[in-house]
Chain A
Amino acid sequence: MQQESGNINEVIDQYAAKRLSRRDVLKRAGLLGIAASAVGPLLAACSSSNSSGTKSSTASGSQAAVGTPKTGGTFREGYDRDFTPPNPVANSWADPDYNALFEALVMRNPEGQIVPMLADSFTSGPTGWTFHLRSGLKYQLGAPLTPASVVEDFNIFRNPKIAQNPPFWTPIYNVTNDGQTIICKTKGPFQAFQETVVTEYSYIMNPATWKAQGAKYGTQPTDGTGPFTLTSYVPGQHVIASRWEDYPGSIVPFFTNKGKAYLNQIEWIPITQASQRAPQIQTGLVDAIKNPPPQDVATLKANQSLVVQEFQELSNFFLSVNMGDETLGFDDLRVRQAISHAIDRQAIVSSIFLGHAAATYGPVMTRWKWYNPAVEQYNQYDTAKAGQLLDEAGWKMGSNGVRVKNGTPMAFTTYNLTDDTQNQVLQAVSQMLAKVGIQMTVQSLASAAFYPKLTNKTTAYAFKWLWSSPIDVVALFVQFYQPELAALKPVYDAFTAWQTAGNTAQLQQAAMAYQTTFAQLIPLIPLYTQNTIWVHKQNVVGWQPNQANLYPFYNDVWLQNA
């Protein structure tokens, strides 16, 4: 009597426990009469671990029991991108050094709840938010952390002439302080602010220093509030932060270390070539890495001196076509839908990511706390439907395999930021589109050449955003990179509903409604969310990447061989 009779879930469980290989799963699924294409998503969901943010239960050398924390040593962390100056006001990408150099008023714990950090209590209601700042705090260069300086920070962050994230602050019309209490006034409820105030671009810095350093801010000591100070910024080589000896301590509940940091220094090392990441940790050049390529994960998991954590990343890779482009028909919903239906996301997930990713049919990652599974009825892989929609929209297949309408072939170029994996995905997508008669060429550019090309007139681009507040960031892309269109009104309205939600329940509702509206109108065509894979050596303790925040915190980190 075979163990696997009748229950695909048992098979998947055994796979998760590493007792079966993928091939075995597919074989047994076949015996159960289940098609491989149905098993795929189950396997993929399996690879991204459960959402509670705890370590995924892999047989990958779990951390042995350790003693008391030791002070000292330099923690070398490999990063999968190159660095940009840590500047909460105007910056193109938040890097891991933010968590060491700055702190926010409040923070998310690994379960996603808001907890105190620089503020010891906070309230939110129909007239706005208040934060009660802890007393006696200082900035790293010695100046006192006054409520007035926090007010100044907030006014900088919400100023459209200075900062880059004001759209996330719009309901707030006034920020002042009353003693130690910071008061952010709104005209109506603004629950969504909880998603903004914990992010890197709301981290607290000394505004006087920021103003004084001007364009140089982020390349020298940043005068923030975190447990480390910036001591060396050399993009392409490393970023080094050293322990702040006068750190006033932390009240964050999920930090076990409430005092100064244990580490003497942190050295972040950019490893932009993906194929170098696994070798560098295996040869001991770094103590931790982020995102080795999918094909190296198995080797790393088998290495007993390494601990591998894998969960879904707070990101989404999407393709955007300009909805104002009438020549190429992108203003027509049917054309966008056709593009979306022509893409076999599941195949990309299983072959390029080897299952270490999830197909996304809506704008947010599938394991987000407020993910709406209803989006999965849209954007499914269906080449017949894609062809049909294009025919309906007037795009007829030409003799050379490219669709034509009014003499215009459906051919366009997509810009992308250079990245090995994303390039492969776009190549695969380009072929899938060619099968339905759409000719898409890809141009991969370095950031200096890519960002200037990104405007609301760009015909097509692809991008992966990484941000812990997905509704905000997706709305930002729609706002900046699509022209303002009447057709997008449902999306704008859905965002307003999100921003004016009265309580957490309404916030969740608004988030879910936003997703379905988005999946229907597809101003951005979502493709996949990859798993983020963090690997560290056994002698690193307390380094806890979690699923609620972009990067780990450094207060608890110590080295056993310090």
Chain B
Amino acid sequence: MAIAPALTGQPVGHRERGLLRTLISRANIAWVIGSLILLSAGTVGVIIQVVPSLRHLYLNQDLEATLKPPLSPNHLLGTDNLGRDLGWQLIAGLGTSLAIGIGVALLSVVLGLIVGIFGGFFGRAADAVANVVVDVTWAFPAILLAVVLAGWIGPSLTTVILALALTNWAGFARIVRGEVLSLRERDFVNAARVLGVPKVLISVRHLASNLVPVTIVLTVYFIATSIIGEAGLTFLGLGVQPPMPSLGETLSTGREYISESWWPVILPGVLLVIIVLFLNGLGDHLRGQLDPRGRVQRR
């Protein structure tokens, strides 16, 4: 019966097997492995940036061995214009990208959930306010925000995360709001309200937990777009500053030497494409598993 779950406090629609078990199952094994590879590479990339004794791997420049092609001795993927090992630069850059991607996704999701639920569930006035905030953010050119933020706190990791998150969350908020609008008419929610459960509690328990599948799918897409966004911002000079490695920065500097050495440009580009392909595919696949009604549009 519909009321019983509301009384017992379990979110409606929870799967028999639990979310985690759904995700990590035999059918998904390829995606799981892929995600693990990506995560481990990214973690390695972060570790070598954070542990001082490992930094030399990607920072060690050799001004006499600049722009060596791939398959040179000691440098599997070649070196960049300052003689640094391109392979380690890419891994470190991947670490930066993933860290940014996850940071942006989390921030966007949290903001989007808060504003979306606020607008969808807390009355017409709240809805009006939420709509205005969302629409103003939506129309704001991201590049402008990035430059302003870069001017304020200086171009850096934080600037990139903030700039990307603050332009991303609005889209998510819209979807959440739409979802909440339909969820709130459902019996279990009405029952909870009739029983006097405070709105905030309903939001957290029922609404948010029903939004988990959508959130997961969108988070994956967000990570992909943020990785691209970060590379783009760094390309324009507004992103992370050297010596922090970044795929966008390797691409951007590589462009200068494009006539003699293709590897500083093509290799980070290929890596970006692979990551994005993978994440998009993962998102599509998760959508098939968690969101069969197709509430989520990828763009």
Contact = CB atoms under 8 A, between A and B. Distances in A.
A441 B242 CA distance: 7
Interface stretch (B118-126, B131-139, B199-207, B253-261): B253-261
Interface string A433-444: 010000001111
Contacts of B82: 351-352, 424, 427-428, 431
A470 interface: no
Contacts of B81: 352, 424
A274 B256 contact: yes
B242 A423 contact: yes
B83 A443 contact: no
Interface stretch (B61-69, B166-174, B270-278): B61-69
B243 interface: yes
A276 B243 CA distance: 25
B11 interface: no
Contacts of A444: 155, 237, 241
A456 B97 CA distance: 37
Interface in B192-226: none
Nearest to B154: A443
A401 interface: yes
B59 interface: yes
Residue from B60, B64, B154 having most chain A Cβ neighbours under 10 A: B154
A295 interface: yes
A449 interface: yes
B253 A424 contact: yes
A355 B260 CA distance: 17
Contacts of A423: 242
Interface in B24-65: 52-53, 55, 59-61, 63-64
Contacts of A347: 63-64
B151 interface: yes
A556 interface: no
Interface string A327-360: 0000000000000000010011011100000000
Contacts of A352: 63, 81-82
A188 to B, nearest CB: 48
B243 A430 contact: yes
Given A344-B63, A347-B64, A351-B83, A443 B256 contact: no
B287 to A, nearest CB: 40
B92 to A, nearest CB: 14
Contacts of B260: 295
A439 to B, nearest CB: 10
A418 interface: yes
A430 B154 CA distance: 18
A275 B154 CA distance: 26
Given A275-B255, A295-B260, A441 B243 contact: yes
A295 B259 contact: yes
B61 A420 contact: no
Contact of A295 (B59, B155, B243, B257): B257
Nearest to A427: B242
A293 interface: yes
A541 to B, nearest CB: 29
A296 interface: yes
Given A423-B242, A431-B61, A444-B241, A400 B52 contact: yes
Interface string B133-172: 0000000000000000001001100000000000000000
A443 B242 CA distance: 8
Contacts of B61: 427-428, 431
Contacts of B259: 295-296, 299
Interface string B231-270: 0000001000111000000000101111110000000000
B241 A295 contact: no
B118 to A, nearest CB: 36
Nearest to A420: B256
Nearest to A400: B52
Most chain A CB within 10 A, of B61, B151, B253, is at: B61
A434 B63 contact: no
A147 to B, nearest CB: 47
B11 to A, nearest CB: 46
A418 B258 CA distance: 20
Interface in A381-430: 400-401, 418, 420, 423-424, 427-428, 430
Nearest to B151: A449
A274 B81 CA distance: 15
Contact of B52 (A275, A401, A430, A449): A401
A400 B55 CA distance: 11
Of listed B60, B66, B256, B257, residue having the most chain A CB within 10 A: B256
Given A441-B241, A443-B154, A444-B237, A428 B63 contact: yes
Nearest to B152: A449
B57 to A, nearest CB: 13
A434 B242 CA distance: 13
A423 B241 CA distance: 10
Contact of A351 (B63, B237, B242, B243): B63
Nearest to B237: A418
A400 B56 CA distance: 12
B169 to A, nearest CB: 27
B256 A275 contact: yes
Given A275-B258, A424-B81, A431-B61, A351 B151 contact: no
Nearest to B52: A400
A274 B256 CA distance: 7
18 contacts: A295-B256, A295-B257, A295-B259, A295-B260, A347-B63, A351-B66, A352-B63, A352-B82, A401-B52, A401-B55, A418-B237, A420-B253, A423-B242, A427-B243, A430-B242, A431-B243, A441-B241, A443-B154
Cβ-closest 10 pairs across A and B: A351-B63, A347-B63, A400-B52, A427-B242, A275-B256, A431-B61, A351-B66, A401-B52, A449-B151, A443-B154
